[in-house]
Amino acid sequence: GAVVSQHPSWVICKSGTSVKIECRSLDFQATTMFWYRQFPKQSLMLMATSNEGSKATYEQGVEKDKFLINHASLTLSTLTVTSAHPEDSSFYICSAPATGRNTEAFFGQGTRLTVV
Amino acid sequence: LAKTTQPISMDSYEGQEVNITCSHNNIATNDYITWYQQFPSQGPRFIIQGYKTKVTNEVASLFIPADRKSSTLSLPRVSLSDTAVYYCLVFRGAGSYQLTFGKGTKLSVIP
């Protein structure tokens, strides 16, 4: 089946630095990808919709200047957490819809970000 | 989109059939029902999807009554590896891939 791969799986960074997370669709093209954030023992919260070749659409309350999204190709979307703070520590997950099936989305394995 | 409500947690012994019911009273005509499974520190994984009546695949069955205001995910003969959080989602079909996750049901399978 289709695979969405995220990199890195986990990252620890210092406060004030920036971290880039990559999301790749390995065997299909994705004009749209989604980025979610999940805090411990909570559900996934949609952060933004990443659109290939155009600007991302952010959910209410998500700072677009802090969470930079770039979808430069049909197989790669990146999320950059800029000037990270400890409260940004979370599990970040991307997804892409299955081509030709308007029902199923494939999720990456997630990235555990810890800001110290 | 219709809000979904499902039990926060469920326990089951190995080998039993588990039924998780989700209510979605405000489901619209164009909405589909889909279920995802999530293990700790992993991304969710698609289980099953349906519009009405019954859908069955190799891992689960989905029962949707005629009024579509609820749905039941049925997992036959669960094993320890089925311990996970199960999310019921309602999404607008015809190309809408945006998924809104509720709180999910944490299923614990006991030996």
Residues A39-93: tens digit of each pLDDT: 999 999 999 999 988 899 999 999 999 999 999 899 999 999 999 999 999 999 9
Residues A18-33: tens digit of each pLDDT: 999 999 999 888 889 9
Instruction: Report yes or no: A106 at the B interface, CB cutoff 8 Å.
Output: yes
* β-bridge mates for residue B37, sequence order: B45, B86
B69 CB-near residues (< 8 Å, 6+ apart)? B23, B24, B25, B27
Instruction: Report yes or no: B32 at the A interface, CB cutoff 8 Å.
Output: yes
- Residue B30: band (very low, low, confident or very high) from pLDDT cuts 50, 70, 90: confident
B23-47 exposure pattern, b = at least 16 Cβ within 10 A, e = fewer: ebeebeeebbbbbbbbeeebbbbbb
CA angle B35, B65, B50 (to 5 degrees): 35
Interface test with A, best of B97, B103, B106, B108 (most A CBs within 10 A): B97
- Residue A110: band (very low, low, confident or very high) from pLDDT cuts 50, 70, 90: very high
Q: What is the pLDDT of residue B3?
A: 87
In this predicted structure, which of A101-115, B26-40, B97-111 has the lowest mean pLDDT? A101-115
Residues of chain B with Cβ-Cβ distance to A5 below 8 Å are: none
